[in-house]
Homo-oligomer: A and B are copies of this chain.
Amino acid sequence: MKKNAKEAIVKAAILLFNSKGYSGTSVRDIASLAKVNIAGIAYHFENKAGLLEYCFTHFFEQYIQKMEEAYFSIDKGARVCLKQVASDLLQFQCENIHLTSFVYREMSVDSQVVREVMSTYSLKEKYYFQKIFERGFEWNEFRPHSIPYLITQFKALLMMPFLNTHYMREVLYVFPNEAFFVQKYLKDIYFWIDQTLCSEIPIKKGAVIK
């Protein structure tokens, strides 16, 4: 019974934080949507800030776990591994679209909890990206390039649809919560990996194409 109340609170908080923003949501709103009393929220999370921290941890613990699991495929090569990361993270974001949208938006605000998230989870994420890119350079799979700029582009492609869900739906008529979207968009990310990241073998002048 208690576990159900906790889940209901988290679910309501994610929905409201996402649609009305963190600051625009009151504990009263969450209690009302979750059909619990305010004391129930205080019991499980202390206050609104506690709920926010729970949402961040809940999101990034799973995110980093996906990343770690995908990293196991590094022995198949950096290209295969990065595609696995793209596939698993895109799927995860799609399955948790409200939480993802809200967490990504809130990550752009300068706050104590965001600093803590960056100093733990973002650094871990960067560590894995670095390992994959360095392996890719070393084995001549990827053309040499600045790792921070590559991370920026890869994360841009991964995050954009979830940071702008209203824009995607209302303007582009693309629905990032649908499985069809994941399939189609993943191909685009794979194409980015293949075309801009993977090193081409330069064709020598005078060579005859076989």
Contacts and interface: CB of A to CB of B under 8 A. Distances in A.
Contacts of A184: 146, 149
Given A23-B21, A195-B196, A209-B206, A168 B152 contact: yes
List 10 A-B pairs, minimum CB-CB distance, nearest first. A23-B23, A156-B160, A148-B172, A195-B195, A156-B156, A23-B24, A195-B196, A122-B171, A105-B108, A148-B174
Classify chain A's interface size.
35 or more
Nearest to A170: B118
Chain copies in the assembly?
Answer: 2
Interface stretch (A5-13, A40-48, A185-193): A185-193
> Chain A: interface secondary structure?
helix
Interface string A9-30: 0000000000111111000000
Interface of A: 19-24, 101, 104-105, 107-110, 114-115, 118, 122-123, 126, 146, 148-149, 151-153, 155-157, 159-161, 163-168, 170-174, 184-185, 188, 191-192, 195-196, 203-210
B163 A122 contact: no
Contact of A105 (B109, B148, B171, B192): B109
Nearest to A20: B109
Nearest to A145: B188
A129 to B, nearest CB: 10
A203 to B, nearest CB: 5
16 contacts: A19-B110, A21-B109, A22-B23, A107-B164, A107-B167, A108-B166, A122-B171, A148-B173, A149-B174, A149-B188, A152-B168, A153-B188, A156-B159, A191-B196, A192-B192, A207-B209
A152 B174 contact: yes
Contacts of A101: 108
Contact of A209 (B110, B196, B203): B203
